[in-house]
Amino acid sequence: MIVVMGIDPGVANTGFGVIRVAGGRMSAVDGGVIEAPPDRPAGERLTRIHTALSELLGWHKPAAVALEDLYFGKNVRSAMAVGQARGVAMLAAAQARVPCHDYTPQAVKKAVCGSGAADKGQVQQMVGALLSLPSPPSSDHAADALAVAICHAGHTRPADAFAPVSRERAAPLGHLAGGAAT
C-alpha cells in the first residue's frame, strides 16, 4: 500500500487530496480545501496553508506529494500568488522529507479524463468515478488535488513513483463533500 497526497495550490483556497494505492486499485483517503481568508495579510495566509499541510503530511504520512504546476495565464499577480502557495507546499513536504513531483494542468487532465482540454466538471466526474466515490467531490480544488495524486500514481513505475526528483513533467473523507480544512 502506498499513499500519495495531491495539492492544488492557491492563496485563497488550497486543495488537498490523499489517495491510497494498493493492489493496482486507488481509493480516496482524505480531501478538502484549506481556506485562507482574503482579508488577512499574505504572510498569515501562507502560514495557515503551511501549518495545515504540515499537519496533513504528519497525519497521512504520504510516500509522495504531487503538485499541480503553475499555469501562467494573463493575470501575473494571480500567478505569483499561486507560486507562493506552491513554495509553501513544497517547503512543508521537504520538512516532512516527502518527495515532490510536478505535473502540468494539461497532463493531469489527460491522465484523469483522457484529454488535456477537459473542463473542471469533467475532472470532478472522473475523479469520483476513478476513486469509486458515491458522488464527485463538490469542491473543484479538492477534485484537482485528487486528480494530481491520481496522475502521479498512474504515470510512474512503482519503483520510481516515490523517489525524489528535481523536476518532472507528465501528464478526513468528509471533506470530499465540500468541507473546508481548518
Instruction: Give the CATH number, domain containing residue 173.
Output: 3.30.420.10
Range of the domain at 106: 2-181
The strand order across the sheet containing 25-35 reads 100-103, 64-68, 2-8, 13-22, 25-35, 180-181
pLDDT at 154: 87
Neighbouring C-beta atoms of residue 112, cutoff 10 Å: 26
Please tell me the total count of domains within the chain. Answer: 1
Is there a contact between 30 and 72 (Cβ–Cβ < 8 Å)? no
pLDDT at 178: 44
The β-bridge partners of 16 are: 7, 32
pLDDT at 172: 41
- What pTM was estimated for this model as a whole? 0.85
The pLDDT tens digits along the chain (182 residues) read: 899 999 999 999 999 999 999 988 999 999 999 999 999 999 999 999 999 999 999 999 999 999 988 776 667 788 888 899 999 999 999 999 999 999 999 999 999 999 999 999 999 999 999 999 999 999 999 999 999 999 999 876 554 444 444 333 332 444 454 444 44
- 74 Cβ partners below 8 Å, 6+ apart? none
Going 74 to 84 to 95 to 20, the CA torsion angle's sign is negative
Strand, coil or helix: 75? coil
The Cα–Cα gap between 22 and 164 comes to 21
pLDDT at 79: 84
pLDDT at 76: 79
Run of H or E residues at 45: helix 42-60
